[in-house]
Amino acid sequence: LMDVQMPVMDGHEATRRLRELAPGLPVIGLTAHALETEREKSLAAGMVDQVTKPIRRDELVAAILRHPGRRAAPETAAASVPEPLPASSGLVDWAELNKRFKNRTAFIEDLLQTVLDSHRDTPEKLREAARGKNVAAVAFLAHGLKGLTGNLAASSVYALAQDADTAAREAEREPTPEITRLACDRAEELASRMQALLRELAQRLGRDLDST
């Protein structure tokens, strides 16, 4: 699985190099861009398929199974069904998240903890980028949060991350004061919403955000 939008070396170049090292290895691209031209670029680079973020489990599995040598694990009839995490109001659609990961409570809890560990400083990084009018940093952070929040079924945070990413990239292309200010305002909003999301995840795990 290859993230298409990566810093330094993007997924297209990484795939071309992988094809040289392991020609028979299937590479599936993961991208936030649903344009057909993006898919064509991925296939031209040597990828065998592409899945659009936010990634849905069924679509990803289907993409993997479309290619030779990949088989689905047999279903275990006697497997126990774990209790799902309870639904609640908030930024995360917990019912959708449970459904997406087939009520695998332990897996979801591990996922939440990983997000807390990896993104504890992300809100402050967004604020620093906004204060410094660093729209490239805003675009990089917001783009990463699109995939993350989409997978977490946090649709309102995903939408805000998408707005911040779009605004920041527009400011990179046309760095006028007005467009730059809009991108920085979106980054500040996203920082606040991301902070709230992290607190919600910590509360779901029964922990305090400052001590996770």
Contacting residues for 212 by C-beta, under 8 A, at least 6 apart: 113, 116, 117, 120, 202, 205
DSSP per-residue string spanning 152-186: TT-HHHHHHHHHHHHHHHHHHHS--HHHHHHHHHH
Which is more confidently placed, 73 or 53? 53
Contacting residues for 177 by C-beta, under 8 A, at least 6 apart: none
Measured CA to CA, the distance from residue 209 to residue 195 in angstroms comes to 9
Which is more confidently placed, 56 or 212? 56
Whether the pTM exceeds 0.75: the reply is no
Q: Which residue, 90, 56, 87, is CA-closest to 197?
A: 90
Look at residue 24 in the predicted model and tell me its pLDDT: 75
Measured CA to CA, the distance from residue 10 to residue 5 in angstroms comes to 6
> Among positive and negative, which fits the CA dihedral 9, 15, 21, 26?
positive
Taking all residues of the chain, what is their mean pLDDT, rounded to a whole number?
A: 84
pLDDT in tens, 168-201: 999 999 999 999 999 999 999 999 999 999 999 9
Sheet order of strands, 28-31 included = 2-3, 28-31, 49-52
Written as six digits, the tokens of 212 are 């996770």
The Cβ of residue 155 has, within 10 Å, a number of other Cβ atoms equal to 15
Orientation of helix 36-44 relative to helix 11-21, angle to 10°: 30
Q: Is 28 helix (H, G, I), strand (E, B) or coil?
A: strand
Look at residue 211 in the predicted model and tell me its pLDDT: 56
pLDDT in tens, 7-34: 888 998 898 888 777 777 888 999 887 6
